[in-house]
Amino acid sequence: MRARNAVQTTEPSRKSPENIVRTAMKNVDFHLTDTIVVHIATLEGRLAPDGGEMPVFDDKKSFHLEVDTAQIQVGTQALSNDLNDYVFAKPDAPLKKLAITTQGDELVLKGLLASKGDIPFETEGTVSSTPEGQIRIHTLKVKALHLPVKGLMDMLGLDTAKLIDTKKLTGITVDKDDLILDPAQILPPPAMRGHLSSIKVENGGISLVFGTAVQKDQRVALTSRCGGRNYQLFRGGVVRFGKMTMNDTDLELIDMSPADPFDFSIDHYQEQLVAGYAKMTKIEGLCVHVPDLNKISQTSKRPAR
């Protein structure tokens, strides 16, 4: 039987409401890369193409997530990996060998000041959201060479903007002694664009809340039609995955082991789908039962795209 939804389609009009791909996620450990993982407790929003006709799962730069509401946690190891492998990954980046830990409700950042001869430094600071939905890291203490940096800055004639040259970075600016981070730019694609309403340090990482209760009430919530407890679902519009283009999308990726979070990688989704199975619904949707990434054989994983 050939599914009406899974056939080649003509170019969609992205201006038309019926071509919007709505998405919802619940209890997903989402691998942005092999080393940068964010835990999505809940998320509702849309997939939006970036320059192309439609979101293509095989090219994570082809789309971004327009987030209406979400609760997301990022652990300190993922934060450290993000800083080293993405934010400060360029050879001429001013900081390197960064490691983040937490201390109460504060973030502690250690690393090397590469632009000043690999001087070791340490900072302690608090996090908050700005009215514009950015992340503000307010510096409380700074040490370099185990000395208070304020004295070191006076001695060397430096200020924060010179100490960390953000012209070489994306998504980071300086406001006096504070760093301002754009949550849509400091994580690898697919980008998550939405209004950050709150952020706090807890449970060995940071917790981010996007959107408001009012926004959530304005839209009918998407729920699983396949009985999934942990899942990603996509409805409406057009998406492409592998050799399939799905029109009027009705697709759910469901965790086969719901006792723990759905461990999912956008770079390895095909291997996960191959290791699972799919069923068609009565309304011609697809319920795809997917094993966790950490439960499939390492030999079946291809290098990250």
DSSP string, 178-242: EEEE-TTTSSPSSPEES-EEEEEEETTEEEEEES-HHHHHTSPPP--SS--SSEEEEESSEEEET
pLDDT of residue 250: 96
Strand partners, 90: none
- Comparing 122 with 62, the larger pLDDT belongs to 62
Q: Is the pLDDT of residue 5 over 80?
A: no
Output the CA–CA distances (angstroms, integers) from residue 294 to 26, 147, 190, 264, 271, in the order listed.
18, 43, 21, 9, 12
At which residue do the structure tokens 């990603």 appear? 232
Q: Is the pLDDT of residue 9 over 60?
A: no
In angstroms, the CA 248 to CA 234 distance is: 10
pLDDT of residue 18: 57
The domain segmentation of the chain, as residue ranges, is 17-65+218-300
Q: Which residues contact 14 (CB under 8 A, 6 or more apart)?
A: 49, 53
Which of 13-17, 194-198, 296-300 has maximum average pLDDT? Answer: 194-198
At which residue do the structure tokens 């960390």 appear? 164
293 with 263: CB under 8 angstroms?
yes
Measure CA 152 to chain center: 36
Average pLDDT estimate for 13-22? 63
Strand partners, 207: 73, 200
% of the chain residues with pLDDT over 70: 82
pLDDT confidence tier of residue 119, bands split at 50, 70 and 90? confident
Q: Which two tokens stand for residue 121?
A: 């430094």
pLDDT of residue 171: 87
**pTM exceeding the 0.75 threshold for the entire prediction:** yes
pLDDT confidence tier of residue 72, bands split at 50, 70 and 90? very high
Which of 9-18, 118-127, 226-235 has maximum average pLDDT? Answer: 226-235
Tell me the per-residue pLDDT of 135-182, one tens digit each, with 9 for 90 and over.
Answer: 999 888 888 776 665 533 443 445 555 556 656 677 888 887 788 999
Q: Sign (positive/negative) of CA torsion 58, 193, 173, 30? A: negative
Output the CA–CA distances (angstroms, integers) from residue 283 to 36, 237, 250, 252, 286, in the order listed.
36, 16, 9, 13, 9
